[in-house]
Structure 1
Amino acid sequence: MAPIGVLQAAHACEIFLKARLAQEHPILIFESLPKSTAECVNKTTGLLDFESLLEKGHTIAYSELPEKVWAATGKKINNIKLYNDFGKLRNSIQHFAAPNRDVSLLTSHFIYEVIDPFINSEWGMCAMDYCDDSEQYEYLIPILAKRNVYFTVSPRMYGGLNELTRLIADGTTKYQREMILRGRLTGLV
């Protein structure tokens, strides 16, 4: 996975966290808002003009999102250290240069150990269901198993526990046990 994957994963996480805040109230995603001056007010409703909000409003920074989500929803981000470290990597790539190392393992951990638990707990989604390989799980799951990257097992996975067991065969014994337990917990039969 190229460094662009880091940018995409961080951006996806940011969007998910802001979407959750917006479910509570759309204004929560903003750090600062336009002032109630005449040019920012809709003449008909007397409310903040949407265009002004887009032009002059500033949304919450990536680094502040976990605390804002917790304050608004009570939901804490899994592995906050990984979240913060990944944010620093994202900033490095975005503003300076890509590191001279493979970032694919870290990106996999971030997607499946930070984003995946969040979207699962908030909307019942599983990241593995959005892999666009020709064979949805055939390549993804063995790679995650080799890397010992834990993920939420989708109840929609075809083949049940037998298929999961086959696909995670390259993981450690401890990893295999944990993933089979996760499969049972999500109702994979």
Structure 2
Amino acid sequence: MLHLGLGALAHANWHANYHSFENDSWPELSVLQAAHAAEILVKARIAQQHPLLIFEHLPKPPTQKTKLTLEHLLQDGRTYQYGELPDRLWAATGVQIPNLALYRSFGRLRNSIQHFTSPKKDVSKDAIEFIYGVIDPFIHQCWKLFAIDYNEDHEPYTYLVSGLIRRGVPFLVSPGLIGSLDGIDMEWPSGNSQYKKLMLGRLESLRTHKQI
């Protein structure tokens, strides 16, 4: 589940931070993929405690001697849904979703796009905010992973990190970024000295680590 969730995150990062001339639905797709990635990743963390904890409904045995199998779960089991996962995560692991209000509002945005219509705005910005405001700190807390490491670009850091900095999006700095620092365009957002100070501190910590 963790591997699949990180694959969905890479797809969400690609569609949220890049553009396609052939498919104008990338912003909306990034929302669907980011929400799907979060759902799988949260379930992956719960399942580390015990795989059955992700199931809201378990199959009933036809006889007392029947053993529960994967086939039974696939046919009759039902896992917890997106909106129910934060409480289940906390109860099973003690871990809380970072920025719970954003998690819930993003779930409503995903439902609107998936079942009704997309708002008349660039929703890729919402996907980026969600990836780096919720998924990034969550996967780092649980597995010491970094969202910027999961991107389908053949040069995974150069454009992605430049875009995040240009937009003023805080993100956790991965050690994998060390070899790409010199090629990244640091176009800082104007009038946001606090963000620049925060990210320069994180990047400087990375450079210091490299020297050590």
TM more than 0.5: yes
Summarize deviations over 1:32-68 as a string: whole Å, max 9, x none: 1111223xx8x7xx31132121111110010111111
Shift in Å at residue 74 of structure 1?
1.4
Q: Identify the match of residue 6 of structure 1 among 16, 23, 31.
A: 31
TM-score scaled by length of structure 1? 0.86
Separation in 2, partners of 1:82, 1:8: 16
**Aligned-pair identity (%):** 47
Does residue 144 of structure 2 align to residue 124 of structure 1?
A: yes
Shift in Å at residue 182 of structure 1?
2.9
Q: Identify the match of residue 127 of structure 2 among 107, 111, 115.
A: 107
Q: Give the letter for the 1:169 counterpart.
A: E
Shift in Å at residue 97 of structure 1?
2.0
Q: Identify the match of residue 69 of structure 2 among 27, 45, 49.
A: 49
Higher helix share: 2
Maintained 8 Å contact 1:142/1:170: no
Q: Point out 4+ residue stretches in structure 1 off by more than 6 angstroms.
A: none
Q: Which runs of 5+ in 1 are unaligned?
A: none
Separation in 2, partners of 1:140, 1:127: 11
Q: Identify the match of residue 117 of structure 2 among 97, 117, 126.
A: 97
Q: Which runs of 5+ in 2 are unaligned?
A: 1-15, 17-26
Does residue 194 of structure 2 align to residue 169 of structure 1?
A: no
- Structure with the bigger RCO (C-alpha within 8 Å, sep 6+) is 2
Shift in Å at residue 170 of structure 1?
1.8
What secondary structure does 1:133 align onto?
A: coil
What secondary structure does 1:31 align onto?
A: strand
Of 90-99 and 15-24, the range deviating more from structure 2: 90-99
Of 92-101 and 16-25, the range deviating more from structure 2: 92-101
Does residue 82 of structure 2 align to residue 62 of structure 1?
A: yes
Cα gap change, 1:149/1:51 in structure 2, threshold over 3 Å: closer, same or farther? same
Shift in Å at residue 159 of structure 1?
4.3
What secondary structure does 2:95 align onto?
A: coil
Per the alignment, residue 45 of structure 2 pairs with: 20
Per the alignment, residue 35 of structure 1 pairs with: 60
Maintained 8 Å contact 1:126/1:154: yes
